[in-house]
Chain A
Amino acid sequence: EPEVTQTPSHQVTQMGQEVILRCVPISNHLYFYWYRQILGQKVEFLVSFYNNEISEKSEIFDDQFSVERPDGSNFTLKIRSTKLEDSAMYFCASGTGWYTFGSGTRLTVV
């Protein structure tokens, strides 16, 4: 069964550093998403991406976040200057009608 692949599974970064989280969506999907889950809390929508542009974003998705589909297969989330409160599990998802979630990247900012 097709999967959404996220790399790395765990990333540790220093506060203030830039980090890029990578995702390979399912190949024929048209919509791509990033969600965030702070430890012990609910899963929260960050951004959706369709037709090479952001279709919707949440209040969390401020100027320090950006998304890109640099080629035909990858979908990335960049955090420009990480803060301690960015520590969370980040889930990528893709879907045309329904979502398939990746297994997540646990980001730890120290």
Chain B
Amino acid sequence: AQKVTQAQTEISVVEKEDVTLDCVYETRDTTYYLFWYKQPPSGELVFLIRRNSFDEQNEISGRYSWNFQKSTSSFNFTITASQVVDSAVYFCALRAYGGATNKLIFGTGTLLAVQP
């Protein structure tokens, strides 16, 4: 069975602090995709990144970086120098590669509050 665990339900930081959001996943598939989405207070889901399981290179995009470690089944997300606009719920998600299903399995989300 596939499962995504985001153990941190809420994190509060002060602006300019770095923060890491944890994501641990379970799957029997050897090939899969991992995602991060941001959900601001307005409610929409904003796509941040997609990673496939055969590419373990870390990625950096501006203040955002992602650390994918297959050995620990983790796909953690770090925001450097956090800003108030980063306040949102962040979801990690997992999807099988090919096959009969392409549904996304979401974690329970981490609410990030960045205080000015």
Contacts and interface: CB of A to CB of B under 8 A. Distances in A.
Contacts of B43: 89, 103-104, 106
A104 B40 CA distance: 13
Contacts of B105: 45
Q: Is the interface of B mostly helix, strand, loop or mixed?
A: loop
Contact of B45 (A41, A43, A106): A43
B71 interface: no
A77 to B, nearest CB: 15
Interface in B62-109: 91, 93, 100-109
Q: Is the interface of A mostly helix, strand, loop or mixed?
A: strand
A80 to B, nearest CB: 23
Contacts of A89: 43
A3 B71 CA distance: 36
Contacts of B108: 41-42
Given A33-B103, A48-B102, A56-B100, A42 B109 contact: yes
B45 A42 contact: no
Nearest to A46: B103
Interface string B22-56: 00000000000000010000111101001000000
Contacts of B101: 48, 56
Interface of B: 37, 42-45, 47, 50, 91, 93, 100-109
Interface of A: 31, 33, 35, 41-45, 48, 55-56, 58, 89, 91, 98-104, 106
